[in-house]
Structure 1
Amino acid sequence: MLYIVGLGPGDKSVMTQDALDAIEKCPIIVGYATYMRLVKDMLDGKEMVSTGMRGEMERCEKAIELAAQGKDVALISSGDAGIYGMAGLVFEILANKDQHLDVKVIPGVTASIAASAALGSPLMNDFCHISLSDLMTPWDVITERVDAAAKADFVICLYNPRSKGRPNNLREALDIMLKYKSPDTIVGYGKDVARLKEIEKITTIRDLDEEDINMTTIVIVGNKNTFVHDGRMVTPRGYSL
């Protein structure tokens, strides 16, 4: 059996019981080296298969190979394995090979949910996820999606917002949003949520300091009704008060 396990943001306190059980049960753990370190205290006595950045295909193929031998294998991802994680790639590989394998996807707390809880309640109305990484998706496709989401006044959760290799993607995305959103639109972000150096901050599109943003940050851009009260970011659901 292959278990595809979402670890959540990284702290054991926000992992699901199913995720904890799967890691305990499986003698073989496959994952990105950084994610392995997040659960290193749970891996004593286990066979560990890890790769570095951009080793996703290798990890998935190795996990499939081991599970096809009848072994219980946990392929781990941070957040939720079905949101920019390993679940989709595993199923694509199996489909491409026309291979059958028993697979169970175990959900985890994704970054937007963890950051939302830390910031208040910014996701109470319609929202979307957009990754600003153009490694897999062409930048012109990403900008079209940002434009459409901003025009429709979604709350927008930006994954992979800014890195050394992509220092301008966040600013370009925000500039697109300003076609439809006020510069005073509320923005919240969480960095390293549920980890030792966790940071949450609420600001606006105008005042957002991009230098604070990196690849371990989730940026949540509110809609036209999002406001701040008592240090909390709030998007109204629409109740009559």
Structure 2
Amino acid sequence: MAGRICRDARTARHPPGRGCGRGALFLDLADPRPGAATLSAGWLAIVGLGPGAARMLTPEVTEAIGQASDVIGYIPYVARVAPRAGLTLHPSDNRVEIDRAGHALRLAAAGGRVVVVSSGDPGVFAMAAAVFEALEAGPDHWRDLDIRVLPGITAMLAASAAAGAPLGHDFCAINLSDNLKPWDVIERRIALAAAADFAIAFYNPRSRARPDGLDRAFAVLRETCDDARPVLFARAVTTPEQRLRIVPLPQARGEMADMRTMVIIGSSRTRLIDRAAGPLLYTPRSIS
């Protein structure tokens, strides 16, 4: 793990504030809230930082980070936490999740007040499952640790709210990354979701390593879905770079998305309301 999980922000290859590009959002949490209850020594909190804007952070996540001795996570997420005295930042690459989880558990077992950060919600395609996987495979004494999961606002909910309510009826979420599962599993799940007429939220739709995955997903959808099916591209939701675009399925292209984009495909009942202030996308709650 040498050179991958950094022990201190001052020695990290990507110190806080770098590696996130312009417009990085910092959470200045130098002081816990006055009067906040202090958590016991030697604990681990797995937290969600929300979709992007600092204002979307929950109070309990703010409190946990304010009390932490160590913050661990993927480089861009750790960079959203401002350094302060008494806090060690441990940024690491996005392909070392289990190593990162074990590192967090070892620090907590040694008495550290450890926060593992994820974007969005830690239980949705994020670090909570990785920590529990490491916990299950690790030494028995790890199971006695004070471990908690603190939820955050996940990207699909923020994107849905920004556009209206496209997830207003039954929906599902599918991660298009094939790093941890084969593409044929992804393709089968997309086909089944389309056949069941779910609204579908695509996480991790496109990356440099997977430039064609989203187009392949659209091809699967076109085998079942009608041409009027709306597709929402919601990029960098809640940040100053937020961009929303709604197109019918035949016009949807993979190049319209990147890793900061949430893609939501409406169901057959999803509707678009045109208005001067911008369209609203929603799925009715009733089926008659």
TM-score between the two structures when normalised by the length of structure 1: 0.95
Alignment of 1:83 onto 2:127: no
Structure 1 unmatched runs, 5+: none
Equivalent of residue 194 in structure 2, options 108, 130, 150: 150
SS at 2:251 equivalent:
coil
Aligned equivalents of 1:169, 1:116: Cα separation in 2? 22
* Identical pairs, percent: 39
Deviation at 1:105, TM superposition (A): 0.2
Equivalent of residue 14 in structure 1, options 44, 48, 56: 56
Aligned equivalents of 1:212, 1:119: Cα separation in 2? 16
User: Which residue of 1 is the match for residue 146 of structure 2?
Assistant: 102
Q: Does 110-119 or 206-215 show the bigger shift?
A: 206-215
Number of residue equivalences = 238
Deviations 1:26-85 (A, max 9, x none): 121111110022233xx3221111112312122211111100112211010001110111
Structure label with greater radius of gyration: 2
Change (3 A) 1:171 1:209: closer
> Which amino acid in the other structure matches residue 27 of structure 1?
S
Which contiguous aligned blocks of 4+ residues in structure 1 show a shift greater than 6 angstroms? Answer: none
> Which amino acid in the other structure matches residue 92 of structure 1?
E
* Cα pair 1:187 1:208 within 8 Å, conserved: yes
* Cα pair 2:53 2:239 within 8 Å, conserved: yes
Alignment of 1:25 onto 2:74: no
TM-score between the two structures when normalised by the length of structure 2: 0.80
> Which amino acid in the other structure matches residue 98 of structure 2?
M
Deviation at 1:239, TM superposition (A): 7.4
- What does 1:36-185 align with in structure 2 at a 5 Å threshold? 36-40=78-82, 43-45=83-85, 46-97=87-138, 98=140, 99-100=142-143, 101-185=145-229
User: Which residue of 2 is the match for residue 34 of structure 1?
Assistant: 76
SS at 1:162 equivalent:
coil
* Cα pair 2:222 2:250 within 8 Å, conserved: no
RMSD across aligned positions (CA): 1.3
Deviation at 1:212, TM superposition (A): 2.1
Structure ranking higher on relative contact order (CA contacts 8 Å, 6+ apart): 1
Deviation at 1:96, TM superposition (A): 1.1
